[in-house]
Structure 1
Amino acid sequence: MSESPSESPDSAAVLQSMTLLATLSTAATVRESVAKRRAGRDPSAQEPADRAAARLRNTGDALMDLLMEMALSRVPLEQRDEEPLPHAVRHFDLFMKMRRAERRTQAMHQHLLSLYPAVSEELVEAARRTHDAIEQFLGDAPTAEGPHLSDVLERGTSLVVWTRHEV
């Protein structure tokens, strides 16, 4: 099936692709978690400070990359009247990135707990609140009753910068 540039993609095929991507993303997360546990790493356990600090920096960098991607995707489009299918794809992409940001924020919180009391209690609490804000955004996304995307992005960015300053 060859499409000319002027033809739009089949909606069912796009939705099927999005479903497959969501399934693969979930499977990758589960595989990563199982591999960590088999390697003897319990994500809820305390880590040695040097390992926790290194993982915290890596996780913070990955989170900042995701936050910047989401912020840049908000740049206004030239054409304001977006078709339903491209709008759905953009929303799906945001949702998938926000899910990854939620997992990274949770990991940052765990690493900060391993470093406590060498890091401030306020920073540990900020990580927990950031995670909660992302979860609330994801849970309330269909109704738009929860925090606004810009607030979640700002909170996440602040967490990463604060962590870089303190660790």
Structure 2
Amino acid sequence: MSDETTSEGPPESAAVLESMTLLATLSTAATLRESVAQRRAGRDPSAQEPADQATARLQNTGQTLMDLLMQMALSRVPLEQREEEPLPHAVRHFDLLMKMRRAERLTQAMHQHLLSLYPAVSEELVEEARRTHDEIEQFLADAPAEDADEGPHLSDVLERGMSLIVWVRHEV
């Protein structure tokens, strides 16, 4: 039997952790690349946008955020009631944090688009976008201590994010 045909066992922890580190690095690089491309194209994310552009971007960002929040919500549904091994648990937690970081960026973008539409949208909606962003940031700050009782819980963060998107769809 040759080395090529031998079955591989479960991945080693070091290899999985190295892959997660690489994924986090690539994610950060992609975000930076996107930001640089936006600036080179003459778009300042903190600047006011024309209403039609802000509306279109708000709708796209809201749909992307809703998809992401639904992925996180569905990934938390237990398939079986059993003890999870440490490595799969770490990978699942890492995936949640990566998605939550993306949700934080999307919520910040939604807030900026809403500011561009103000006063055509309510001040309460703009403020809710800011509070939702802050709650996601707080969740991420508390995330290393998964069992911490302080700060927002995942279900609360997901619910608030989904409520924001529904409110935006209703008002915009």
CA deviation map 1:3-34 (0-9, x unaligned): 747x3211100000000000000000000000
In the alignment, the residues of structure 1 paired with residue 15 and residue 46 of structure 2 have an alpha-carbon distance, to the nearest angstrom, of: 40
CA deviation map 1:30-55 (0-9, x unaligned): 00000000000000000000000000
> Which residue does the alignment assign to 1:121?
123
What residue identity is the alignment partner of 2:122? S
Q: CA deviation at 1:157?
A: 0.1
> Which residue does the alignment assign to 2:13?
11
Q: CA deviation at 1:77?
A: 2.9
In the alignment, the residues of structure 2 paired with residue 90 and residue 77 of structure 1 have an alpha-carbon distance, to the nearest angstrom, of: 14
| Alignment TM-score, normalising by the size of structure 2 | 0.93
> Which residue does the alignment assign to 1:89?
91
Q: What SS does structure 2 have at the residue aligned with 1:117?
A: coil
> Which residue does the alignment assign to 1:163?
168
> Which residue does the alignment assign to 1:146?
151
What residue identity is the alignment partner of 2:162? T
> Which residue does the alignment assign to 2:53?
51
Matched, 1:35 2:37: yes
Larger-Rg structure = 2
In the alignment, the residues of structure 1 paired with residue 33 and residue 62 of structure 2 have an alpha-carbon distance, to the nearest angstrom, of: 22
Alignment partner for residue 107 of structure 2, among 105, 108, 112?
105
In the alignment, the residues of structure 1 paired with residue 103 and residue 126 of structure 2 have an alpha-carbon distance, to the nearest angstrom, of: 17
4+ residue segments displaced more than 2 Å:
1-5
Residues 146, 4 of structure 1: alpha-carbon distance in 2 compared, 3 angstrom cutoff: farther
Q: CA deviation at 1:142?
A: 1.8
Q: CA deviation at 1:125?
A: 0.2
Matched, 1:61 2:63: yes
What residue identity is the alignment partner of 2:14? A
Q: CA deviation at 1:146?
A: 1.2
In the alignment, the residues of structure 1 paired with residue 68 and residue 103 of structure 2 have an alpha-carbon distance, to the nearest angstrom, of: 7
The number of aligned residues is: 166
RMSD over aligned Cα atoms = 1.3
| Alignment TM-score, normalising by the size of structure 1 | 0.96
CA deviation map 1:64-122 (0-9, x unaligned): 00000000001113152100000000000000000000000000000000000000000
What residue identity is the alignment partner of 2:166? V
Q: What SS does structure 2 have at the residue aligned with 1:126?
A: helix
Provide structure 2 residue ranges, at least 5 long, that are not aligned to the other structure: none
Q: What SS does structure 2 have at the residue aligned with 1:40?
A: coil
In the alignment, the residues of structure 2 paired with residue 4 and residue 22 of structure 1 have an alpha-carbon distance, to the nearest angstrom, of: 29
Q: Percent identity?
A: 84
